[in-house]
Amino acid sequence: MAVLSSRLRAQFNGLGIAISNRSRIRVGLLYLFLCLLAQPPFAAEEQQKDNISTELKPLSNELLAEVNFEHTELVDWLRAYSAESKKLLATDTRSRDVQLIVSLKRQGPPEFSLAARPAFDSLRQGELRAAIGRLSTPRPSFTDFHMQFNFSIAGGCGCDSQPFLPPVLPPEARIQQEFVRAPLEKKRAAIIQLAREEVLPTLVALAERSDSLHFATVRQFASTAGQWKAQAGTSAASITDSSSAYWRAMMELSSGNTLLSTIKVGMLLAEGKFDLANRYVFLLNIFTKRQSMAAVFLNQLSWRLHEFYNDLNTSIQRGIALHDTGRFAEAAGLYKKILAIHPQSAWANLELYYSQTALRQSRDSLALYEGPAWEKARSRVFACDPLYPLTAKATSGREAYLLTRRHEINSFFRSKETFAVDYVSYADIALDVGAYGLAAEIYWLGNSFVPREQSSNRNLLSYFVYCVFQLGDTDIIKLFNSDFGSIFASIEKDRRDRMQRSAIYQRFETRD
């Protein structure tokens, strides 16, 4: 990442342009802004004539500018918009600071807010808003893009403590505020819409732009992902976990490049599979390069999922309170309402089973963890989240062992000292319960970042290949010059020995 040197910043300031000290500009955007220097109307003599200085501040992540606009489209607009805005302000002679925030919309007309200190009178405010509303703006290709223009007239008001009026909430803060206030169903819909309409199109387009011969499979996978539609008969798993192109494309990318994994997250969310997607988001946030498009969207998804699960969990806990006081029918009714909104909640599905079973037991004393209803509920829970820490009666040592393994995850990642061990154990548990796609992703990332001595000197790449092989890609072993017959046998023996040594497994007469 590049930041403006003091010399370059001085050149911007001298020509009437400032870049906010809080804005860190990447090389791509730095070039765009340098283009502005060479062309009017940002010449020094004009700045002296109109006595208005300009500061440009991107409110959206600068990376989004590079995918949303063609070549110099953003530059041309910034030049023209700044010039036209300054013309509108040129008749004001009072020392004043003006803040203009423009939201370029992917769909619909642009939005803007205008504030000043000291404030404009209502007539002047209305005139400026009407005039600014007539200025042309570009349309971003994939996501909304927010830009702030700060103008200082005649040196500015000179009092930083004086507020801008009317008060303006930055676009991202307003979006977050509206999301937090929204009911559960609107939160879910907003996340799905973000995944389908912004995350997937943007990241797929970025992957398709990989022009090196070394990224041929990346482009192949991106082409397939770009044609994919949620709920159109083809699951996300079928073109990621079960696709050899997906895993080979991932192997073409450098360590820490989680572009394709984040595309998978977008697909899972587009399908409504929040529980599983949330596990990926947590793990990808650990390793994703901070200055990457994947990180931009993982950040946007993280806080939204956090707020969504706050609401979801609160609703489920209300149902549990009803159940615990013997109001089973009311609890079941609440869970049904929750599942009507979000049918792929492992926890809500489980609690619905408990309450419905409590109602049946009053009539026929059906055992809680037996029978077709339990098997159906259990399958539904693990379909939502294969690593869900289910507490249930086990009928064999193997079943008890796997239930216990899932619960171990709750104790992970509580200290930096045990992070690497916890991370590899997380992958091992995903492998044990048959979540091969998730396990493969964790092993692949861990292969680059986890020291071998902290993984019991195991070769995590071999475990990655084993998981992909289990998913049906039997040709992956041809990419390596290794005896995977013996390697896979060793992995299976290690897993089997670990299970058989466990105390919980040995308690059962029926072991497997």
Q: Report the predicted TM-score, pTM, of the whole model to 2 decimal places.
A: 0.89
Of 247, 263, 278, nearest in space to 467 by CA: 247
Q: Quick one: DSSP state of residue 214?
A: G
b/e for 229-243, b at 16 or more Cβ within 10 A? ebeeeebbbebbbbb
Residue 58, token pair as written in the block: 């991107």
Query: In sequence order, which residues have a C-beta less than 8 Å from that of residue 471 and are 6 or more positions away?
Result: 241, 242, 436, 437, 440
Query: Token match 């690497």: residue?
Result: 420
Spatial separation of the C-alpha atoms in residues 160 and 371, rounded to whole Å: 70
- pLDDT computed for residue 212 by the predictor: 66
DSSP H stretches of helix in 325-396: 328-341, 346-364, 371-384
List pLDDT tens digits, range 421-467: 999 999 999 999 999 999 999 999 999 888 888 888 899 999 999 99
DSSP secondary structure letters along 12-25: HHHTTEEE-TTPPP
What ranges do the domains of the chain cover?
6-168, 193-286, 386-512
- pLDDT computed for residue 290 by the predictor: 87
pLDDT digit string (tens) for the chain, length 512 residues? 333 334 334 433 433 444 444 443 344 554 455 444 444 444 444 444 568 999 999 999 989 998 999 878 998 999 999 999 999 999 888 999 999 999 999 999 999 999 999 999 999 999 999 999 999 999 999 999 999 999 999 999 999 999 999 999 999 999 999 999 999 999 999 999 999 999 999 999 999 987 766 789 999 999 999 999 876 778 999 999 999 999 999 999 988 899 999 999 999 999 999 999 999 999 999 989 888 999 999 999 999 999 999 999 999 999 999 999 999 999 999 999 999 999 999 999 999 999 999 988 755 545 788 889 999 999 999 999 999 999 888 889 999 999 999 999 999 999 999 999 999 999 999 999 999 999 999 999 999 888 888 888 899 999 999 999 999 999 999 999 999 999 999 999 999 999 999 999 999 988 88
Residue 6, token pair as written in the block: 């003091």
List pLDDT tens digits, range 8-36: 344 334 334 444 444 433 445 544 554 44
- pLDDT computed for residue 455 by the predictor: 84
Spatial separation of the C-alpha atoms in residues 167 and 330, rounded to whole Å: 45
Q: Are 298 and 285 in contact (CB under 8 A)?
A: yes
